[in-house]
Structure 1
């Protein structure tokens, strides 16, 4: 089953939309904030790339010749819908917290709706930008800093800031989310520090080559302006079958969730990073519909034969 879901997501990222079933639909944010022209470059504002190297930061520079074949297909057409029928409906629409780490949640909701500071190159496994454009690793490999892209936006148009990193870490360390594996992982770090609006730092408690990976590319961020009013218990209750706003290329609207039946993931036309070379040729389907038919393999097979499942 894991392999099937992985194939679906791989097709989504690189595939083209053939005949459209649902047509293209724009998903505009509620409020788009203006560009921040006040934060100086050395504090992570626009112009940071000119001073980054002098401050000890590094990044991965896109090369069309080197990377163009590995981050989607330029010939892929955007549009259409892909339908998938699963034997289960998610026990929750959350990924973080009790009952959240199901394969279906991880390969669809978590992968498509939320983003980490960095991701890894699919071939070289080098770190490449995602929410953060640059990163710093101290000589002793114990302290990490990240510069968040000032263009990064939540679905509701709010900017992504260092506060979101702190809020996400705080949530994962909250024992009332009833998912102790997160406390095991993220207790390896001290509480992150806001260095500026767009620069956040964190210090590891012990040296381990996995530490940077855990913090940079495994922790997908959630918004501070949502989490600030919630403890772990309230988070579990409020977002059992409602989706926390993300920054990713797809959105799940509450009205598109039919509990125990189906949910629809829609591509955001105004996704903040849609022109970023690392993502511009990925995430091509307009809609993904995931339906649940429980305990009836024969019916799922019949629907596949009828074309109700791709």
Structure 2
């Protein structure tokens, strides 16, 4: 269901990984507490010790390189899981700074690579790094969300709840980031959306990587055009232009959550969506589950 696509690649802003790491640490030194800075510096130093000096300028901290680094730590050192996860989180932020990408997506890529590793294979790292349960019953979640999306596309096309759900799935974004979208963030000419990066990530909190551009499907773009033209309410009490509105302003988290719940209930009764055996047996979908499902789909699709 997701069409999020970005390709890892080196940044033209730096001459080498060494210069990128130096710039990254310099930025952090003036914007984060000392304890945070030291922990990130320790991870960067550890990476530098692992990378052969002769090739340090050629390594751009792609996912496969970071995975090999974690494999080496796991196999050849006595570092515990807590320390290794700390290194991962720090270096994911460095990788985000270099490539100007979302740390959440970079984590998903890394965990996908780690799953196929004969050395790592630790589900505890999955849980600690991504903050979602990758051992969830994906089939059950998939069935529920597929039913919801089918119902929305056939019976509520172009409504607020429809574009809300589709945008979470397409962009692999947390619900709050989709709720925060402005009209100007939507580019229907090339089917892209500008999504903010939550400040739970250090690179965003420090102002180093605060947004990303992601693709959306043509179907989602069409639903957005329908919504903006016919369904979106022009707010009367605010001066900015949020995408998802009520007549008073930006739609609240509780309003959007309630609409998803109501749509899930309707989908369970909609002919051709839910089978007689599954009707009334599933709990309502909530926005956070839709986001988690989009990440699980990204993990499965790597």
Question: TM-score, length-normalised on structure 2?
Answer: 0.25
* Larger CA Rg, structure 1 vs 2: 2
Question: More helix by proportion, 1 or 2?
Answer: 2
Question: More strand by proportion, 1 or 2?
Answer: 1
Question: TM-score, length-normalised on structure 1?
Answer: 0.24
- Larger RCO: 1 or 2 (CA < 8 Å, sep 6+): 1
